[in-house]
Amino acid sequence: MTTRQIHSSSTAPAVRPGSTPPAPPAPAAQPGLERRRWSGRSRKDFLVFLAMALPNLVLIGTFTYWPLINNIYYSTLDWTLGSASATVVGLQNYITFFTSEDAAKVLGTTAVFTLVTVGGSMVLGLLVALALNSKVPGTTFARSAVFAPYVLSGVGVGLVWLFIFDPGYGVLAWILRGLGQQSPQWINDPQLSLVMVIIVYVWKNLGYCAVVYLAGLQSLPRDVMEAAALDGANSVRRFFNVSLPLLSPTTFFLLITTMLSSLQAFDLIRIMTPLGNGTSTLIYEAYLQAFGAYNRAGYSAAISVILFAILLIITVLQLRFVERKVHYS
């Protein structure tokens, strides 16, 4: 071991090509040797890094980045999914979308669904967080309970609520009958379908907002809260004038994350309203166009690109605002 090392280091200068002076002065040789040893280690690190990180990076590149580029390309094609040939039509798919009735309907549905689900889960989430923040025993259990729907399968949850909303045999119809009312046609009426999906979506997601808001409430500076209480502000005023402004970073964070996930909501819409009648948001329309009845791959890709552009704008806004708005204390 030792001999081999000595051997290799003594032969190394001789092996090196050409013009090396036969006997370099000792002080100059020292840093050279150092650097060679260092670069050997760093070459090894280089390989170690690649061995560890490359598989993941290649997968992310292939299935996350490459599709983005492909999507843009596909969106310029007139292409039936499964067909071997496609014609390049430039921006025609985008023009078709924005000049058809689809655009107003789909964008309107997306806007209503996103705004109501974001507003609903944030307001209700904050109310639940305030309840969870009280100092009574049992809040730990309640916190887990309200968070639970967030981790459950959207398909399972959608079916359970579809049964509850069933106009014939659902619990809701039964309650309404007790009140002398007829159950609305949740499934057949496009507007009511949207209301139904929104209610279930808020039910599933408000626990997330509640837990994030609770963390925010619990990290409020205690001295400020106590000072406000000593000033004689009642709890409602304390909430609106002190807590809520101090919570603005949390509110902003939730606004962005819930908006992004509402724009991507798919499972509930698919299971509760498969035809997308009144509930077809951008993501669902992109799915329907390619994988529903139509097989319009190019058109679907164009809708995906529009959705991605919207998501990108929101993300960039977040990054722009995050530095300005989020600092406190």
Partner 1 sequence: MSAPLPVAVVSPDVDAPQGRPRPLSRANLLQTVATGYVPLILATLAVFLPLLWMLLSSFKQPGEIVTMDLRILPESLNLQNYVTAMTTVPFAQFFANSLIVTVVGSSIKVILAILTAYALVFVRFPFKNVIFVLILVALMVPAQVSILPNYILIAGMGGKNTLWGIILPGLGTAFGTFLLRQHFLTLPPSILEAAEIDGAGHWRRLWQIIVPVSVPSIATVALVTVVSEWNDYIWPLIITDRPETMTLPVGLTLLQNSEGNGAGWGILMAGAVLVIVPILLVFAALQRYIVAGLTQGSVTG
68-107: which residues touch partner 1 (CB under 8 A)? 68, 70-71, 74
Report the residue from 142, 192, 224, 225 that binds partner 1 according to the rule CB under 8 A. Answer: 142
Span 165-224, contacts to partner 1 by CB under 8 A: 166, 168-169, 171, 174, 177, 203, 207-208, 210-212, 215-216, 219
Residue 277 half-sphere exposure toward CB, CA atoms < 13 A: 12
152 lies in the site for partner 1, by CB under 8 A: yes
Q: Which residues pair with 80 in a beta bridge?
A: 296
- Write the burial class of residue 89 (CB in 10 Å: 0-12 exposed, 13-18 middle, 19+ buried): middle
Q: How near is the Cβ of 131 to partner 1 at its closest, in Å? A: 4
Identify which range of 6-14, 84-92, 99-107, 125-133 contacts partner 1 by CB under 8 A: 125-133
Return d(Cα 174, Cα 78) in angstroms, integer: 50
Q: How many residues bind partner 1 (CB under 8 A)?
A: 101
Of 24 and 67, nearer to partner 1 (C-beta) is 67
Minimum CB distance to partner 1 smaller for 89 or for 127 = 127
Q: Which of 196, 242, 255, 301 binds partner 1 (CB under 8 A)?
A: 301
Does 40 participate in binding partner 1 (rule CB under 8 A)?
Answer: no
Separation CA 187–CA 182 (nearest Å): 14
CA distances from 269 to 32, 125, 192, 246, 291 (A): 66, 22, 13, 35, 15
Judged by CB under 8 A, the chain residues 270 through 299 that form the site for partner 1 are 270-271, 283, 286-287, 290-291, 297
Rounded-to-integer distance, Cα 175 and Cα 171, Å = 6
Please work out, in degrees rounded to the nearest 5, the angle formed at the alpha carbon of residue 19 by the alpha carbons of 15 and 24. Answer: 80
- Cβ atoms of 97 and 103 closer than 8 Å: yes
| 182-187, long-range: CB < 8 A, 24+ apart | 187/273
By C-beta, is 6 or 266 nearer to partner 1?
A: 266
Nearest CB to partner 1, comparing residues 20 and 144:
144
For partner 1, give the closer residue by CB, 228 or 283: 283
Q: Does 148 bind partner 1 (CB under 8 A)?
A: yes
Q: Which is nearer to partner 1, 95 or 215 (CB)?
A: 215
Task: Please spell the DSSP secondary structure of 118-143, one letter per residue.
Answer: HHHHHHHHHHHHHHHTS--TTHHHHH
Shortest distance in whole angstroms from residue 34 CB to partner 1: 16
User: Cα dist. 7→22, 41, 153 in Å?
Assistant: 17, 19, 65
**Which of 24, 32, 40, 67 lies at the binding interface for partner 1 (CB under 8 A)?**
67
Window 229-258: contact mask with partner 1 (x via CB under 8 A): --------------------xx-xxx----
